[in-house]
Structure 1
Amino acid sequence: MFKTPPVRTIDRFSPPASPVILSPLHMKDRSMSLSEHKINEYDLSIDDIDSPECEMFPSQFSAGFEATSGSSVVDFDNFILSGLPSSKRFNAEELLSQIHECLLVQYSYQLNRNVIGEGSFANVHTCKVVGAGELTATFTVKIPKSKRMVKQIYKELLNYKVISDYLFDSGLNPIESPFMNCYGLAFTTNFINYNKRDVLPCLISSCLDSDLRLLSYSMLKNRESLTDLAIGSTLWWSLAKDLIDGLTIMKECKLVHSDFKSSNILYDSNTQSFKICDLTSAISEEDLINTTFENFEVSLQYCAPEMLLQQSSPNYSTDLYAVGLILLSAAIGSEPYHEILKSRNNSLIFLNECIKKNKVLDVLGVEQHNILQANEKEHKLIRSILVDRLGLEDLRALF
């Protein structure tokens, strides 16, 4: 089970000058894809890519997706349906339509075999589009560890699609949103150097510099003063705004993230902004109704007290509490309850009791306490979330 009424968002992001989400299948303007915006950053048009024809599943699938025979489309749809998660928000036909809008099967990819991230269900690699030359952008690809875990890939894709559609319908630029840009779905058969036999769906996303956990650790060492915030005041407030904006958007999309933690927040050094990622555990309000606490895998250090006291399912309040812990971590440069976990006498029972009694600020070390005391505004916001348990609307008034 454990792993170790909002403000209008239109006022927070400027609308794009031109559409940035394009459909590779020409099915719908708001479909997810490798956007021309991303490719053109490198002065390279998609039309210039001389990519060899990919082998799809079924084998007839290639760049000319629309021209495939009716029988192969049926086979492909049956293959997709066999791996889709159940959903109260969408029926099977709607789920299938959502998947079709996100396909990126007209490209071939070169996979970097080095794993840059590993989760319970999937590994993350980097990749490039074949035939684009040295100037092509680098993307990340999330590949499930086995056939048994493909549902998690589809689920995450659909969650990104819900957010992407919301941003599009609101006239917001996805590239400026506080979410990682997920471009769409490919299959392992799209990778020219992937040798395993299983045909697995995989997510193609933007490749960013670092996650917040690593950023905090690295910047902590370069502070001018021992009482400075780990990531500095400017970046810390940028993080706070991005996370609060992200929570607001997720609430408007009726999605609960369920697994907020510092390693699920990515940093973009080009824009000095932060991006929420890993929507594997995110769940809609409709699906939350009949979901029990035991069905969730959550990170113990980022649990709200009520999740252990009452075995309550994740909700908007527990998401916000986890965001408070993320802000604490970015301030002090270490994970919540670090002092307990690093102790030789650490006890899981003691950690559980500290979480239940909401003692996260009481078990900080002396140096960590000094950081918070020296940064009153940041300390106030952290306490407002973790101790006072203010709601999203009240928190926005503090900015």
Structure 2
Amino acid sequence: MNSTPPTSPFTEVHDGVFPSIDRNSKNFVYHQPQKRNAGAAYSHLVSPVEEPATKFNEAFRTEYPIKECGTLSETYLKNDLNMLFANPRFYSVDNLASMFHLCRTVSPLEYLNEFLMGILLAPQMDFLSNPDYTLPSSRPIGQGSYSYVYTISSTTTSTLNNDLSLVLKFAKSQHKSKVILQEALTLAYLQYVSPSTSDSHIIPFYGLTYINKSHFRRLRSNECVPGLILPKCRMNLYNFNSTVSHELSLIGKREIWWKLLKEMLDALKTLKINGIIHGDIKTANILITETPSVNEGHFDNFDFYLADFTSAFHTSQLPTDLNTTVEYCAPELIDNSTDHIPTFKTDLYAVGLCLLSFISQHEPYNELQSLVSHGSSPGTGSSSIQRSQWLINVLLKKDPINLNILRSNLFQDWKLELAVLSKILVERLPLEELLALLEQDYI
């Protein structure tokens, strides 16, 4: 369920100093994030959580002849950016020039040709000029409202099934290209100002390319759409909670919970330092590089990545519209007291709900809704409007812990973790204060 809050002025970036959490903490079992590894098994999923289409065989045809067109991607990108800047949703030319600290004397044309082309395009993996790169699968491994996600293969690699451990997240149609370009600009900016984004637990961005009907048959013959090259991850947190978590012991789950907290706070810290608000953090947008081992241990075979920046924006420019997921909204985003725009505090609140979902193994308020409807699936016997109003009323009670932790044993098993979540979800500590508290009281 999505909502589109009205636009309003932003909260300014906080100038506070971020403390670091001791890697030797007895509660924060820190593991150095793995470096980018093209040979690792990944699987990128995008939100909202939707079941992939079951029949996509007719969407692919690899026998189309592909002409040499080395400059086509640049041409398409230049045209798309011109259209994007003519009616900017999140980013304008002036806004981006300020973000990237470009000289004010640089003309828009020079800016587009010389700078954006260099940081966005991935010439080493240009689908339009190199027929070796394909999307061989008949099914997407993820999809959202604006995009599909497919595994990338190359006929020149020696890996199993020609798998490059990369995926392409591309626009469903040319009409939806703007959203993909905006996400590319956000990820390119984060990569530019913080090159080790993987160490910050933000999804690494390997560049932008374009595909056409020769790569994906469902595109129209005259369409050429942009796609983001991203690492392939095993699953998202939503899948983990529903399919893997029950196999682990309480000790193992608690250790993973603290790892999730540490790595998501790393991601939020990077975003806040660089003025980026994610705007749609939820379990479907937190990716896991590998399936955590069911054997007890240090669980150092995987990392978490914050992904799907389609709703993200920089605090220096007001977006003209914004989509977010109602279940993960902080109360101020839906009440009548504030400007109804995501902030750094609402991003932290959404992370808190993800951590709460990890404990309950249910999406926010889903278990309560099932109990209210006497065990039937959410929404049975009620209209969409009624369900939405029920959810809004529950959110405005401002009691997320008690309304999501409905089994008494969880309060005892997760006493320490719920105390931390109370700081996030009830006391609403800012990120800097939360990090300082964790460093002081939980090490």
- TM-score calculated relative to the size of structure 2: 0.70
1:61 to 20, 44, 69: 69
Aligned AA (1:351): L
CA positional deviation for 1:8: 6.8
1:33 aligns to what?
A: none
> How has the CA–CA distance of structure 1 residues 208 and 150 changed in structure 2, closer, same or farther, with 3 Å as cutoff?
same
2:154 aligns to what?
A: 129
Superimposed CA distance per residue, residues 196-215 of structure 1 (whole angstroms, 9 cap, x where no aligned partner): 32100101100011100111
2:96 to 84, 90, 93: 90
Superimposed CA distance per residue, residues 183-235 of structure 1 (whole angstroms, 9 cap, x where no aligned partner): 1101114x9643332100101100011100111122332244xxx38x70111
> How has the CA–CA distance of structure 1 residues 299 and 75 changed in structure 2, closer, same or farther, with 3 Å as cutoff?
closer
> How has the CA–CA distance of structure 1 residues 208 and 74 changed in structure 2, closer, same or farther, with 3 Å as cutoff?
closer
> How has the CA–CA distance of structure 1 residues 372 and 165 changed in structure 2, closer, same or farther, with 3 Å as cutoff?
farther
Quick check: 1:140–1:204 contact (8 Å CA) kept in 2?
A: yes
Distance (whole Å) between structure 1 residues aligned to residue 112 and residue 360 of structure 2 = 42
1:208 aligns to what?
A: 233
* Count of aligned pairs: 347
Distance (whole Å) between structure 1 residues aligned to residue 40 and residue 366 of structure 2 = 41
1:185 to 208, 222, 228: 208
Correspondence 1:396 to 2:423: no
Distance (whole Å) between structure 1 residues aligned to residue 81 and residue 289 of structure 2 = 33
CA positional deviation for 1:174: 3.4
1:28 aligns to what?
A: none
Distance (whole Å) between structure 2 residues aligned to residue 327 and residue 365 of structure 1 = 12
Superimposed CA distance per residue, residues 322-368 of structure 1 (whole angstroms, 9 cap, x where no aligned partner): 0110110112211110124334375322210111221322323532x
> How has the CA–CA distance of structure 1 residues 298 and 41 changed in structure 2, closer, same or farther, with 3 Å as cutoff?
closer
1:157 to 178, 181, 184: 184
1:141 aligns to what?
A: 168
Correspondence 1:275 to 2:305: yes
Quick check: 2:21–2:435 contact (8 Å CA) kept in 1?
A: no
Structure 2 SS opposite 1:138 = strand
Distance (whole Å) between structure 2 residues aligned to residue 40 and residue 375 of structure 1 = 36
Quick check: 1:186–1:203 contact (8 Å CA) kept in 2?
A: yes
2:224 aligns to what?
A: 199
CA positional deviation for 1:76: 5.9
Structure 2 SS opposite 1:312 = coil
131-140 or 85-94: which moved more?
Answer: 85-94
Aligned AA (1:355): L
Percent identity of the aligned residues?
A: 27
1:354 aligns to what?
A: 394
1:24 aligns to what?
A: none
CA positional deviation for 1:241: 0.6
1:246 to 264, 267, 288: 267
CA positional deviation for 1:80: 4.2
379-388 or 355-364: which moved more?
Answer: 355-364
CA positional deviation for 1:393: 1.2
Quick check: 1:185–1:202 contact (8 Å CA) kept in 2?
A: yes
CA positional deviation for 1:41: 7.3
Aligned AA (2:262): K
Correspondence 1:110 to 2:149: no
> How has the CA–CA distance of structure 1 residues 15 and 374 changed in structure 2, closer, same or farther, with 3 Å as cutoff?
closer
1:7 aligns to what?
A: 18
2:343 to 293, 315, 323: 315
Quick check: 1:83–1:150 contact (8 Å CA) kept in 2?
A: no
Quick check: 1:266–1:277 contact (8 Å CA) kept in 2?
A: yes
> How has the CA–CA distance of structure 1 residues 318 and 122 changed in structure 2, closer, same or farther, with 3 Å as cutoff?
same
259-268 or 125-134: which moved more?
Answer: 125-134
Quick check: 2:184–2:228 contact (8 Å CA) kept in 1?
A: yes
CA positional deviation for 1:249: 0.4
Quick check: 1:180–1:276 contact (8 Å CA) kept in 2?
A: yes
Gaps of 5+ in 2: 5-15, 24-29, 42-64, 98-107, 126-131, 291-299, 380-386
Structure 2 SS opposite 1:313 = coil
CA positional deviation for 1:133: 3.0
Distance (whole Å) between structure 1 residues aligned to residue 364 and residue 32 of structure 2 = 37
Quick check: 2:283–2:354 contact (8 Å CA) kept in 1?
A: yes
RMSD: 3.4
2:82 aligns to what?
A: 81
2:418 aligns to what?
A: 379
Structure 1 SS opposite 2:207 = strand
Correspondence 1:341 to 2:349: no
Superimposed CA distance per residue, residues 286-344 of structure 1 (whole angstroms, 9 cap, x where no aligned partner): 113xx46xx21110000000001135200101111101101101122111101243343
CA positional deviation for 1:9: 7.5
Structure 1 SS opposite 2:363 = coil
Higher RCO structure, 1 or 2 (CA under 8 Å, sep 6+): 2
> How has the CA–CA distance of structure 1 residues 39 and 208 changed in structure 2, closer, same or farther, with 3 Å as cutoff?
closer
Quick check: 2:40–2:165 contact (8 Å CA) kept in 1?
A: no
- TM-score calculated relative to the size of structure 1: 0.77
